[in-house]
């Protein structure tokens, strides 16, 4: 309701071209932050594990909870990747840094990509999905949290696994099947998670030899 009032007000006072970009306005950004803060308070009341978590980590946890429901229904194996994997490898119990999004991956045959996309669209809806890099990854939007899960597609061919990706990671990640499988089990925000077999090796490919040091990513203990 408040967003609608703000939209009507901006439509009256702003030129059309500027109004079309209203979601980038300072007023909207302030309200979004306030709205997310209120939602985080509600979640903190519901679950004790959220009491001391920063807002980004609360929403990352909730989104991961929904991803677990998705893979349970669709019988898929999804593993932690990127900043999510980095946080677990540092024994932080959750994603590294401010948890701006949930980084996850799935290994499939390239011939199964179309069917995987159909499954994603059927479950989440096309309007919540944004495919990137020639369908090598997909942003899954969770509008109630203004939050994204980034799902990277890793394609398997014989004993090799590869993924084409852009900044901040290497443009192409080439791995052996044994680098990914068998998965290992870890805890992510007090929920079960799968991680690649050779996590440390993969993190070196992504973040360099000093991945273990928090560096610019603030360490969050869960």
Contact at 8 Å (CB) between 76 and 122? Answer: no
pLDDT for 154 equals 94
Could you tell me the two tokens for 120? 């994603």
pLDDT for 219 equals 47
Beta-carbon count within 10 A of 54 CB: 14
Each residue of 136-180: pLDDT tens digit? 899 999 988 888 999 999 999 999 998 876 556 666 788 999 999
Q: What is the pTM of this model?
A: 0.78
3-state secondary structure the chain: CHHHHHHHHHHHHCCHHHHCCHHHCHHHHHHHHHHHHHHHHHHHHHCHHHCCCCHHHHHHHHHHHHHHHHHHHHCCCCEECHHHHHHHHCCCCCCCCCCCCEEEEEEECHHHHHHHHHHHHHHHCHHHEEEECCCCEEEEEECCCCEEEEEEEEEEECCEEEEECCCCCCCEEEEEHHHHCCCEEEEECCEEEEECCCHHHHHHHHHCCCCCCCCCCCCCCC
pLDDT for 10 equals 62
Each residue of 61-115: pLDDT tens digit? 899 999 999 999 999 999 999 999 999 999 988 999 888 899 999 999 999 999 9
Answer yes or no: is pLDDT of 220 > 50. no
Spatial distance between the Cα atoms of 112 and 159, rounded to a whole number of angstroms: 17
């Amino acid at each position: 309701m408040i967003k609608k009032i703000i939209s009507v007000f901006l439509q009256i006072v702003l030129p059309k071209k500027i109004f079309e970009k209203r979601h980038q306005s300072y007023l909207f950004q302030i309200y979004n932050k306030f709205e997310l803060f209120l939602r985080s308070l509600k979640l903190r009341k519901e679950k004790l594990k959220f009491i001391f978590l920063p807002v980004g980590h609360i929403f990352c946890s909730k989104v991961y909870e929904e991803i677990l429901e998705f893979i349970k229904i669709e019988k898929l194996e999804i593993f932690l990747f990127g900043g999510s994997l980095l946080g677990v490898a540092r024994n932080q119990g959750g994603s590294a840094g401010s948890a701006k999004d949930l980084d996850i991956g799935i290994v499939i045959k390239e011939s199964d990509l179309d069917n995987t996309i159909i499954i994603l669209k059927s479950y989440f809806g096309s309007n919540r999905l944004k495919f990137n890099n020639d369908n090598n990854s997909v942003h899954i939007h969770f509008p109630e949290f203004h939050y994204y899960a980034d799902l990277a597609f890793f394609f398997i061919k014989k004993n090799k696994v590869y993924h084409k990706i852009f900044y901040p990671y290497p443009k192409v990640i080439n791995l052996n099947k044994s680098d990914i499988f068998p998965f290992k089990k870890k805890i992510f925000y007090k929920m079960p998670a799968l991680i690649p077999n050779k996590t440390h090796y993969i993190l070196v490919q992504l973040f360099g030899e000093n991945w273990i040091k928090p560096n610019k990513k603030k360490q969050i203990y869960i």
